[in-house]
Amino acid sequence: METVKINTSQHVDIDYPVAGLGERVAAYLIDLAIFMAVYLVVIFGSIVGSFSGLGEKAIIIAVIIYLASYAFYDLTCEVLFNGQSLGKKLMKIKVVSIDGAQASTGQYFIRWVFRIIDFTLTANLLGFLCVAVSEKKQRVGDIVAGTTVIKTQPATKIEHIAFHPSDEDYVPQFASAHLLADRDIELVHEVIRTYYRTYNAELIYTMSAKVAEFLGITIPEGMNEMQFLKTVSADYIQITSKAV
């Protein structure tokens, strides 16, 4: 599975899988369905307007606004919503730079311009074909802009983390675990989940070192880095749940 490394705010690289053709086509169809619904509303409004005496100019303006919205929809959404249209958001995918950074406005613009080649002039065939066969699942616009589309994961909720203490009598081993924040524990869980998907042990070593340094502690002898992260997570949940 192709992945792109995303550098988190804690400077830990996590591999995110590249979105495949299926997710991208589904997102495209969702966006298209939205505009088809809007189109029907515009047509219906035009018919009603013709019977109610609205001028021809008003109807033409409405159609022009609709066409402009359709033309600039992807560019506007990706710039304003960090690489996601409504369809991409529902499919949990987004546009990123090929190096894992957030794409720039210029990159979004290049992707948008090349929609003419990828979709309009080739009846969608070129774009879909390139995504299907390219190494990083890129259409022509992505290749030129230096972008790709990745699968995103919803933010991990604390109550969904798999390392809850087994009982209420659980005694935390690291009292300073309360110094962490929810987002830190979410990242710990994401790193562990990524390890089980990719078996990249360097993620575990890096994350455990950063957590130990932040808490001002040393990983006890006989406890490996994975056990340390799971213990810190369990300690954090136990300590913060008692404080609530």
pLDDT by residue for the chain (244 residues), tens only, comes to 677 777 665 556 677 789 989 999 999 999 999 988 888 887 776 666 665 656 677 778 878 888 898 899 999 999 999 999 999 999 999 999 988 788 999 999 999 999 999 999 999 999 999 999 998 899 999 999 999 999 886 444 444 555 665 566 788 999 999 999 888 888 898 888 888 877 888 889 999 999 999 999 999 999 999 999 999 999 998 888 765 5
SS3 state at 58: helix
Indicate whether 146 and 165 sit together in one domain: no
Contacts (Cβ under 8 Å, ≥6 apart) of 69: 35, 38
Residue 50: predicted pLDDT: 62
**Beta strand 147-151 pairing with 93-97:** antiparallel
Measured CA to CA, the distance from residue 28 to residue 9 in angstroms comes to 30
- Which H/E stretch holds residue 13? strand 13-17
Check: pTM over 0.85? Answer yes or no: no
Indicate whether 140 and 205 sit together in one domain: no
Indicate whether 103 and 174 sit together in one domain: no
| Cβ atoms of 202 and 13 closer than 8 Å | no
Q: In which domain, by residue range, is 96 found?
A: 3-151
Q: Which of 136, 151, 166 is the last residue of a domain?
A: 151
Indicate whether 30 and 115 sit together in one domain: yes
Residue 54: predicted pLDDT: 60
Residue 155: predicted pLDDT: 45
Indicate whether 162 and 115 sit together in one domain: no
Indicate whether 174 and 68 sit together in one domain: no
Residue 239: predicted pLDDT: 87
Residue 43: predicted pLDDT: 75
Indicate whether 145 and 193 sit together in one domain: no
Measured CA to CA, the distance from residue 168 to residue 238 in angstroms comes to 8
Q: Which of 151, 179, 211 is the last residue of a domain?
A: 151
Q: Which of 100, 124, 151 is the last residue of a domain?
A: 151
Residue 242: predicted pLDDT: 67
Q: Is the dihedral of CA 32, 152, 101, 82 positive or negative?
A: positive
